[in-house]
Amino acid sequence: MSETRHQHASLPVNLAQKASLIEQQWSPRVVAEMNDYQIKVVRIEGEFIWHSHPETDEAFLVLEGILRIDLPEGCVHVNAGELYVVPRGVEHRTAAQGEAKLMMIEPRGILNTGHEGGEKTAQNDVWI
């Protein structure tokens, strides 16, 4: 196989390294796109606000720390290496005691606060 076949390959995304570059907690950053979906990393600590996304499911993969997701029927704890999908339209609140680093998968254009708005709404579509 010729070397030239490898010249234009993009670099793999190191999720932990990308997460470490984020300056502020609760500020999701895009690291890749797949079709209409964006893959984001975020650092969180403390409690977010209750919100929902009427148009889409939202996937969380925990890279480091423990993510608590409060849901109408109770809470789930998601450990490093574990994945949880919040179904479309279900109210949820993410939280972490101490810092947690997460990867998220959701369609392009989805705001972190859903339709709630407010000061916790992060700027969307910011790449790192």
Contact residues for Ni ion (CB under 5 A)? 58
Q: Judged by CB, which is closer to Ni ion: 7, or 86?
A: 86
Rounded to whole angstroms, how far apart are CA atoms 86 and 94? 11
Q: Judged by CB, which is closer to Ni ion: 52, or 65?
A: 52
- Least distance (Å) from Ni ion to the CB of residue 4? 44
Q: Which residue has the tokens 């998601």?
A: 78
Helix, strand or coil, per DSSP, at residue 4: helix
- Least distance (Å) from Ni ion to the CB of residue 14? 25
Rounded to whole angstroms, how far apart are CA atoms 113 and 86? 14
- Least distance (Å) from Ni ion to the CB of residue 46? 16
Q: Judged by CB, which is closer to Ni ion: 58, or 64?
A: 58
Length of the chain measured in residues: 128
